[in-house]
Amino acid sequence: MDERHPARHRLPLPHRGIAFGGDYNPEQWPRQTWAEDVRLMQEAGVDLVAVNVFGWAEIERSPGDYDFADLDEVMDLLHAHGVHANLGTGTSTPPPWLTAAHPETLPVARDGGVISPGGRQAWCPSSPVMREHALRLTGEVARHYADHPALALWHVSNELGCHNALCFCDVSAQAFRRWLADRYETVEALNTAWGTAFWSQRYGSFDEVLPPRRNASATNPTQELDFRRFSSDELLSWYDAEAAVLRERSDVPVTTNFMVTAHIRTQDYWTWAGHMDVVANDHYVDHRLADPHAEVAFAADVTRGLAAGNPWMLMETSTGAVNWQHRNLAKAPGELERTLVTHVARGADAVCFFQWRASRAGAERFHSALLPHAGTDSTGWETTLRVGRLLDALDEVAGTRVEAEVALLFDWQAWWACDEDGHPSSDVRYLDEVHAMHAALRRQGVVVDVVRPGADLSAYRLVVVPTLFLVDDTTASAVEAHVAAGGRALITYLSGIVDEHDHVRTGGYPGAFRTLLGVHVDEFLPLDAGEEVRLDDGTVATLWTERVRPRGARVHARFTGGPSDGGAAVTRHRHGRGAAWYVATRFDEPGRDRLVGEVLADAGVAPILPDAPRTVDVVRRVADEASYVFVVNHGTSDYLAPVAGTELTRGRRARLHRVAAGGLAVVRQEPLPTDDKEDAA
């Protein structure tokens, strides 16, 4: 198969094109409302709703006493109106009777405090009692609905680990010990991996090991890292247990909703992704970030990476404001469409919202919804109808794949390790550098595949490795092999510093990449808060410098002033048939844009639309028989996109398409005769 023109790969859902839907919580409403709900869903074109996500207390009013009558009625109504169900197992939040009877299932915080019920997800992921109850419910739900005609997808729990990812209770401690015994086999191996010769921490047996609870000073970094790995695995095993119960009774695909976002980092989704029949993400525009739409694009690219490049599902997003930021901003005109099309451009073939009807009661009553409090006589409802039409117009892109020549190596474990305490500068935050590099590539009009550590990089011209603090030998070798074979790499400061045990790689930084980069760093020289240094090419740098001694690399830019005055700041090293670039500081935006432009040119990567301004986002999705160019204009001026073909949202055929400021265009590329009338309307 030609990699650049793959066959279509459809989500295993009973949909023709892009699925459209939302979370539907009919249990919050009287029965009379349900008929109106399904009628309006039909009117809007909603064809997939998540039900029974928080249904446990409704279905199992007392232990073992299951009552599906209401949910039956809802499922039947949905089916009668052509709406499919993304059916929750309902296990995400236990009913009060369960936590009252079993307070030992409640999670415990790092400081020993017990987390009370009253919100949601107040359960310890390692609790056998909770697991037993949850699997019993899952079994009942599966038995009851396995053959229901509305069922399209099983939705395990909800956002596993959103609130309870790390539990420090005694039951978790025992599970942690079992996990460690599995990983290390002998306590001596654990002692070596954790470096327990330091501070008199040597363990005599696994029984002495604890989770990294609050202590008198600083925690052992490898203990902390392993606890995060364990905690991610623990919830994955929870998912697997529920999925196994479902799969025993049904062939319908199983998934759960990931949280690939800027503020949650508790799951290592690289290890989770292969367990999903459909990769699904929940993503909300985060107006607290400096560039919220750059983060939307990044999260979508990560999710596509998790789906191994195949289409994925946006399980939750919001039409307007959320209710959990400090100031919950409404979306600006056109912002919702640009956000959704950004997700679709980057591989989403299902677009669903939290939630269908805005709640009247409960903690989320001021969260936007497809059907707002005001009802259908509202701008919100008009928006919903518009979104339905927009997604309809994009139906034909479903199953196509995104084209990218650049890979960005991203890793949750490196994130955990990088952001630990006790480092040279706590101003270095992994995600800041990852976001900055991704955003710079996007501003250059280049599409990026986000890839896992150790991934085969042969399909890419350039691999970008931002601040990959922790790296194992396999991953370092994959980057090296990519360059040796003729590729390019761009690696930024504080990469390759520790191995998978969080132990420093000695003999000069950046340990794992030293030979590839042809440099030897013997001291970190981080900058003070607000301190800036200049490079001899005019770039302003902050946060970080280091003493770089070239060992074969050519110096591309030097520090002028600051603690590394006169030393190398940017280097390029020929290695095998390729070359590796190193950046030993944090660039300002213009400097980063300039450098990324140079590296892209060196790698032979050209933007899809070279004349597009930096504020215009361009992505191409292709299949064997078709190619679609997505143009999303976040800027304040119109842009004329030179893409011959039919623009899907307006149905216009032309060689030049006007993309209004704040607007978008999706063009099916078609060869048009040169004398064809240009239509830039």
Kindly state the smallest distance separating residue 326's Cβ from ligand GAL, in Å: 14
Q: CA-to-CA distance for 173 and 528, rounded, in angstroms?
A: 39
Which residues, 6+ apart, have CB-to-CB distance to 151 below 8 Å? 75, 84, 85, 87, 145, 250, 252
Judged by beta carbon, residue 363 or residue 601, the one nearer ligand GAL is 363
Annotation marks residue 316 as catalytic:
yes
State the amino acid at position 558 in one-letter form.
R
Count Cβ atoms within 10 A of the Cβ of residue 74 and give its class: 0-12 exposed, 13-18 middle, 19 or more buried.
Answer: buried
Residue 256 within binding range of ligand GAL, rule CB under 6 A? no
Cα angle, residue 423 at apex, residues 303 and 527 outer, rounded to 5°? 100
Distance from the Cα of residue 633 to its chain's centroid:
23
Pick one of 268, 282, 301, 449: the residue that binds ligand GAL (CB under 6 A).
282
Residues within window 354-393 making contact with ligand GAL, judged by CB under 6 A: 354, 364, 367
Kindly state the smallest distance separating residue 382's Cβ from ligand GAL, in Å: 22
Q: CA-to-CA distance for 106 and 91, rounded, in angstroms?
A: 15
Sign of the Cα torsion 97, 101, 104, 105 reads negative
Count Cβ atoms within 10 A of the Cβ of residue 280 and give its class: 0-12 exposed, 13-18 middle, 19 or more buried.
Answer: buried
Kindly state the smallest distance separating residue 158's Cβ from ligand GAL, in Å: 5
Q: In what order do the strands lie in the sheet with 257-258?
A: 254-255, 151-155, 84-88, 48-51, 19-23, 348-353, 312-316, 280-282, 257-258
Residue 593, CA distances (Å) to 10, 290, 330, 487, 607 in order: 36, 17, 30, 20, 14
Residue window 438-477: x/- pattern of binding to ligand GAL, with contact defined by CB under 6 A: ----------------------------------------
Residue 277, CA distances (Å) to 313, 383, 446 in order: 11, 31, 29
Q: CA-to-CA distance for 448 and 294, rounded, in angstroms?
A: 12
Reported as half-sphere exposure (CB side, CA atoms, 13 A), residue 222 has a value of: 21
Q: CA-to-CA distance for 623 and 403, rounded, in angstroms?
A: 10
Place of tokens 């503020």: 263
Q: CA-to-CA distance for 629 and 284, rounded, in angstroms?
A: 24
Q: CA-to-CA distance for 142 and 352, rounded, in angstroms?
A: 23
Residues within window 311-330 making contact with ligand GAL, judged by CB under 6 A: 316, 322
Catalytic residue among 58, 60, 224, 316: 316
State the amino acid at position 635 in one-letter form.
G
Kindly state the smallest distance separating residue 363's Cβ from ligand GAL, in Å: 8
Annotation marks residue 159 as catalytic:
yes
SS3 635: coil
Q: CA-to-CA distance for 364 and 362, rounded, in angstroms?
A: 6
Residue 509 within binding range of ligand GAL, rule CB under 6 A? no
Count the site residues for ligand GAL by CB under 6 A: 10
Q: CA-to-CA distance for 492 and 438, rounded, in angstroms?
A: 13
Residues within window 138-177 making contact with ligand GAL, judged by CB under 6 A: 158-159, 162
Catalytic residue among 159, 337, 403, 433: 159
Contact residues toward ligand GAL (CB under 6 A) are 158-159, 162, 282, 284, 316, 322, 354, 364, 367
- Residues with catalytic function: 159, 316
